[in-house]
């Protein structure tokens, strides 16, 4: 039996993630109170359901403090439980609430006499309440993701299976901000930039002409070797840690050429590690 628990900040894309799981054959339950999680899992076992997804969030705030201990206890009992925490920047959340015109779930709970809390106050309070859970689970920063990208990343993640560490290489654009879900960040903006070649500008680091152009520079190869060597050296200690995920983010200015190429090359060098995921935050998802 595989159980996926979706949680995170309101407006970060939990509904999109849950619908993807439902389309993938998971039996899904949204807004399950924390106190019913044990009972629900027991019922799932009795019904012989092999794939189940549950969404738990701030809509039941009084019980969230005990959720980390419940998760630890379930795993200690041998339950295969994958917890995915969705997050987004304040700016992205404010924009999404503005577009949807929805009220934040904490608005009524934080209501003061004659004064309504601001949206930003609600978001910051929610972050404080969810911080203990975020700090120990796999985080996906959806600030810069389209719904299609989030669905693709979720699909890759649920297919990854169980391992000591799910290793993820991710490219990103510094001009759009460093991903909040990154564990290790490497800056490759010092490398030669294909952007200044008119023929290469519309291409990406996944295209052969860009790859061939970058491969001719010794500095590019040295950078890849140095990053790969660092990861090879320290990965065994991460494997001994209690974490289940390690995300290595590679950034360049636009997230299109250099960082994408470096990520693709690192993924080839670490192809012996399973499961291995590759993400390009600022490129469209390939069909």
Structural contact between residues 61 and 106, judged by C-beta atoms closer than 8 angstroms? yes
Q: What angle do CA 137, 42, 150 make, to 5 degrees?
A: 35
Longest dimension (CA), the chain: 67
Binding-site residues for ATP sit at 8-15
CB-CB contact of 64 with 130 (8 Å) = yes
Sequence ranges of the binding site for GTP: 57-60
Q: Which residues are annotated as a binding site?
A: 8-15, 57-60
């Amino acid at each position: 039996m595989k159980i996926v628990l979706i949680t995170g900040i309101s407006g970060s894309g939990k509904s999109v993630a849950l619908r993807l799981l439902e389309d993938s054959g998971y039996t899904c339950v949204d807004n399950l109170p924390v106190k019913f999680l044990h009972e629900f899992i027991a019922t799932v076992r009795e019904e012989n359901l092999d794939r189940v997804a549950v969404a738990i969030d701030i809509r039941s705030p009084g019980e969230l403090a005990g959720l980390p201990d419940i998760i630890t206890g379930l795993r200690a009992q041998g339950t295969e439980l994958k917890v995915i925490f969705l997050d987004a920047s304040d700016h992205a959340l404010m924009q999404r609430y503005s577009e949807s015109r929805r009220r934040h779930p904490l608005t009524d709970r934080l209501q003061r006499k004659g004064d309504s809390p601001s949206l930003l106050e609600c978001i910051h309070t929610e972050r404080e309440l969810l911080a203990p859970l975020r700090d120990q689970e796999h985080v996906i920063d959806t600030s810069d993701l389209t719904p299609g990208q989030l669905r693709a990343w979720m699909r890759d993640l649920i297919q990854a299976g169980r391992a000591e560490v799910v290793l993820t290489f991710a490219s990103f654009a510094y001009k759009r901000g460093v991903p909040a879900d990154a564990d290790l960040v490497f800056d490759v903006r010092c490398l030669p930039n294909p952007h200044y070649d008119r023929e290469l500008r519309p291409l990406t680091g996944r295209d052969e002409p860009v790859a061939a152009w970058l491969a001719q520079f010794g500095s590019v190869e040295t950078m890849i070797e140095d990053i790969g060597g660092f990861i090879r050296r320290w990965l065994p200690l991460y494997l001994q840690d209690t974490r289940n995920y390690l995300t290595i983010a590679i950034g360049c200015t636009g997230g299109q050429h250099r960082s994408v190429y470096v990520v693709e090359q690192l993924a080839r060098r670490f192809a012996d590690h399973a499961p291995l995921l590759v993400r390009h935050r600022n490129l469209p998802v390939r069909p």
